[in-house]
A and B are shown apart, each in its own frame.
Chain A
């Protein structure tokens, strides 16, 4: 099979790669571009560990083909913040101990960012439904939801 040449932007960086037509965006990110912050939990769109944004829309990168990134803007966890300059959501996840094993965390943070961009004042129920596509097996979601609600408040400027 001939590989396809794709030009895209990942976290604002212009990026080129070659991929098989059947390769998923998740495979390309992880295996070809070494962006392993995006995780694979199922490969079938059921766990959300692979959440990224594609032109601002939240998607499961395991359900997107690498070639679909052509001309698009891709956002991954690597673009959310830096260890010495964390994004509010990242800080709140740490403060609230909203992770145990942490495998769901990159996906949840990317999803939370998308949630708060769409809806800066979600109710607890709205947050729970928006994040229903991101499975976490460790925490029971309690501390995650607290971190999300606190992030929203902080981002709205209602610092406690």
Chain B
């Protein structure tokens, strides 16, 4: 890849190929498919946050007229503790099975216990009331403090903390402890002129996708069963569902519907295995949909966290040591992104002395799922708040302090590798030069700035481009399109083939029409699936040249491909893609190109956000009045959708910082399980979100692409948090900065 590379399509703001269907209501999402003979499934959920199931009797419900089938944990063939790939990490299949349908114990309010399929939703709901369950109610463990106490009630009697040299004697709610270090933090702090040490708390929040989980399935005893669902990874749905139901992968076809938002939350299964059991037992197709309330109570939110952060710096602005200890709530089963928190917390800094300790802790809340840069926002919130405070104490501009200590090519990370070329410095400089940063604050306004780091991943993607006899083609990819990625795939294929965008139609193939693809997550799609598209398109070009060569009776290397046509360099002649495709019959049959990659070299994307707020000192209400999101995209394939990722991440981060949190009562019942009380940002809550796309190419991608989906949610927590503190003249340590909490800070400072 060279700087001078001229693009025909890349970098344009094209109309997305799936756009018309979406603005006319024709696009089919998870809940939009119905099948002949279809019945409806509903789930019985635990009314307790922590209890033993003493008795579970479904016989009265089964006898009710209109009820077609019932499912409980006993319908899952014996599942064992085996790891299955799910979303952005592996998950234990026994835990997954017990999360899908409780066995012996319920571990959170809303935990699924049994399910019923009936001719109508109303009958199914009535029948749920006829299921007899007897519980022995146990004390719920509702936060990290309670869970980590030595004598805390245990969620899992057989869980011993991993990560110590020897297995501890007693079981614990702490699933694992991890440690990452480099240099000597003690020596680093000894060198420091100023040390900032603070505790921070962040709440449980939800991804808040507008489309609830839903699926329509049909079990087929003889051949292939079908699952239609909204997911970021239909191959992972197939793996998880097949594992839980002990089916060979080939017997299950999963079709990814259009997906109405996911943000990491649609990377695992909740309904699909249950629906298949209900379908198997009734012989009917089954549709299931979660209510919004069920989405909040029983699908994976993001971890609440508690952290202590300590950073030290010299008068000249050198950061000498950075240290943190972070505990993450995993929910009912182990597997929070704790370790990632340690890996990301201080990566924006070139500091030789770093120590991070993290804990993965189970509590009686729903099992967490990935949420945009999972684990990073919590850790980097604390780190960035502390660095901003350090800048203030040292009397150095917060952007300058970050620039002086910025991670760059060659910086050693605490998790192992040295960074390749990255764009943090460029982002910070863009922030400094932005009209926003140059705007003077007025009385009562505050400003916060923060950086964010996310690794990005590559991984396995497979793409086929099938050419049609008229010279158009279908791009069959396997990455569910969550935010417009089909537009990028189309552009990349057009770029290589040199034919018009609309001649290439990208589709998301089901699990039987294309090889395995990792899920859409980790900001991998435009990078890795994009590489597979480019490879597949190059394969098509190669074949087109061969066919042209055979028609001209020359060798393929005498044919050049230019702007969608083959050029005969050995003589006269030019043939368009359409002309070659029309003659395929005579030259050896139809053309299809493949690209199968396991992409390495994903380039990290750094982000820097600037936020100005104004606080109503009487009510504690915070208004975001100016916001700028700056991020390194490597190369922006479709700038509008890149900006959209920045803006969407910023908005979610602003919600996390200002309003969103799970509110529990003492019994562990979530009290705000609806969009009215769990308030995500509305159009009237936000200003325009300015964006600056920085492009420091990732040399491992043919066009220089870095994933952009995740970093954008990291900086807002501290950018907003610090800005609020700046506006009211107090230290913010707990999110969200909701009116009561901000008012308390105002009153405390008097």
Q: With both chains docked as a complex, state the minimum distance between the C-beta of A129 and any C-beta of chain B, in angstroms.
A: 5
**A117 within 8 Å of B (CB atoms):** no
Q: Is the CB of B25 within 8 A of A36?
A: yes
Q: Is the CB of B263 within 8 A of A141?
A: no
Q: Is the CB of A47 within 8 A of B683?
A: no
Q: Is the CB of B23 within 8 A of A141?
A: no
- 8 A-B pairs with least C-beta separation: A37-B25, A103-B260, A140-B651, A97-B640, A102-B22, A140-B647, A77-B25, A46-B675
Among A20, A47, A97, the most chain B Cβ lie within 10 Å of the Cβ of A97
Q: Which of B50-80 contact A (CB under 8 A)?
A: none
Q: Is the CB of A140 within 8 A of B689?
A: yes
Interface residues of B (CB under 8 A from A): 13, 15-16, 18-29, 31-32, 34, 122, 207-212, 258-263, 289, 291-292, 482-484, 638, 640-641, 643-644, 647-648, 650-652, 674-676, 680-686, 688-689
Q: Is the CB of B647 within 8 A of A142?
A: yes
Q: With both chains docked as a complex, state the minimum distance between the C-beta of A155 and any C-beta of chain B, in angstroms.
A: 16
Interface string of A13-39 (1 = CB under 8 A from B): 000000010100000001100111111
Contact of A78 among B24, B209, B260, B689 (CB under 8 A): B24
Complexed CA–CA distance, A131 and B681 (Å)? 12
Contact of B689 among A37, A103, A125, A142 (CB under 8 A): A142
Q: Is the CB of A83 within 8 A of B683?
A: no
Complexed CA–CA distance, A2 and B258 (Å)? 36
For A4, the chain B residues whose CB sits under 8 A away are none
Q: With both chains docked as a complex, state the minimum distance between the C-beta of A10 and any C-beta of chain B, in angstroms.
A: 13
Q: Is the CB of B674 within 8 A of A20?
A: no
24 contacts between A and B (CB under 8 A): A34-B34, A41-B260, A42-B292, A43-B292, A44-B676, A46-B675, A47-B292, A83-B24, A94-B16, A97-B484, A100-B261, A101-B260, A103-B210, A103-B258, A132-B683, A132-B684, A134-B683, A137-B207, A137-B648, A139-B648, A140-B681, A141-B651, A141-B686, A142-B647
Complexed CA–CA distance, A53 and B483 (Å)? 28
Complexed CA–CA distance, A44 and B293 (Å)? 10
For A105, the chain B residues whose CB sits under 8 A away are 22-23
Q: With both chains docked as a complex, state the minimum distance between the C-beta of B650 and any C-beta of chain A, in angstroms.
A: 6
**A158 within 8 Å of B (CB atoms):** no
Closest to A81 in B: B24
Contact of A39 among B23, B211, B484, B685 (CB under 8 A): B211
Complexed CA–CA distance, A135 and B34 (Å)? 26
Q: Is the CB of A39 within 8 A of B20?
A: no
For A129, the chain B residues whose CB sits under 8 A away are 683-684
Q: A46-B674, A47-B675 are in contact. Are A143 and B644 (CB under 8 A)?
A: yes
Size category, A interface: 35 or more
For A90, the chain B residues whose CB sits under 8 A away are 23-24
Q: Is the CB of B13 within 8 A of A109?
A: no
For A80, the chain B residues whose CB sits under 8 A away are 24-25
Q: Is the CB of A138 within 8 A of B20?
A: no
For A36, the chain B residues whose CB sits under 8 A away are 25, 28-29, 31-32
Given contacts A103-B260, A143-B640, could you give 11 more A-B pairs where the C-beta distance is less than 8 Å? Answer: A37-B25, A44-B674, A46-B675, A90-B24, A99-B484, A101-B209, A101-B483, A103-B211, A104-B260, A105-B22, A143-B644
Q: Is the CB of A137 within 8 A of B24?
A: no
Q: With both chains docked as a complex, state the minimum distance between the C-beta of B233 and any C-beta of chain A, in angstroms.
A: 15
Closest to B646 in A: A140
Q: Is the CB of A76 within 8 A of B25?
A: yes
Complexed CA–CA distance, A86 and B23 (Å)? 9
For A42, the chain B residues whose CB sits under 8 A away are 292, 674-675
For B261, the chain A residues whose CB sits under 8 A away are 100-101, 103, 137-138
Q: Which of A101-160 contact B (CB under 8 A)?
A: 101-106, 109, 125, 127-129, 131-145
Contact of B259 among A34, A44, A101, A109 (CB under 8 A): A101
For B689, the chain A residues whose CB sits under 8 A away are 140, 142
Q: With both chains docked as a complex, state the minimum distance between the C-beta of B377 and any C-beta of chain A, in angstroms.
A: 16
Complexed CA–CA distance, A127 and B684 (Å)? 8
Q: With both chains docked as a complex, state the minimum distance between the C-beta of B623 and any C-beta of chain A, in angstroms.
A: 12
Q: Is the CB of B26 within 8 A of A41?
A: no
Closest to B206 in A: A137
For B211, the chain A residues whose CB sits under 8 A away are 39, 41, 101, 103
For B291, the chain A residues whose CB sits under 8 A away are 43
Complexed CA–CA distance, A31 and B20 (Å)? 23
For A97, the chain B residues whose CB sits under 8 A away are 13, 16, 484, 638, 640-641, 643-644
For A67, the chain B residues whose CB sits under 8 A away are none
Closest to A131 in B: B683
Q: With both chains docked as a complex, state the minimum distance between the C-beta of B630 and any C-beta of chain A, in angstroms.
A: 15
Q: Is the CB of A41 within 8 A of B210?
A: yes
Q: Is the CB of B683 within 8 A of A144?
A: yes
Q: Is the CB of A82 within 8 A of B24?
A: yes
Complexed CA–CA distance, A104 and B209 (Å)? 10
For B209, the chain A residues whose CB sits under 8 A away are 101, 103, 137
Complexed CA–CA distance, A83 and B260 (Å)? 20
Complexed CA–CA distance, A19 and B23 (Å)? 28
Complexed CA–CA distance, A141 and B688 (Å)? 8
Among B25, B207, B641, B674, the most chain A Cβ lie within 10 Å of the Cβ of B25
Q: With both chains docked as a complex, state the minimum distance between the C-beta of A53 and any C-beta of chain B, in angstroms.
A: 14
For B292, the chain A residues whose CB sits under 8 A away are 41-44, 46-47
Q: Is the CB of B210 within 8 A of A96?
A: no
Q: Is the CB of A137 within 8 A of B484?
A: no
For B122, the chain A residues whose CB sits under 8 A away are 20, 22
Complexed CA–CA distance, A103 and B482 (Å)? 10
Complexed CA–CA distance, A95 and B25 (Å)? 17
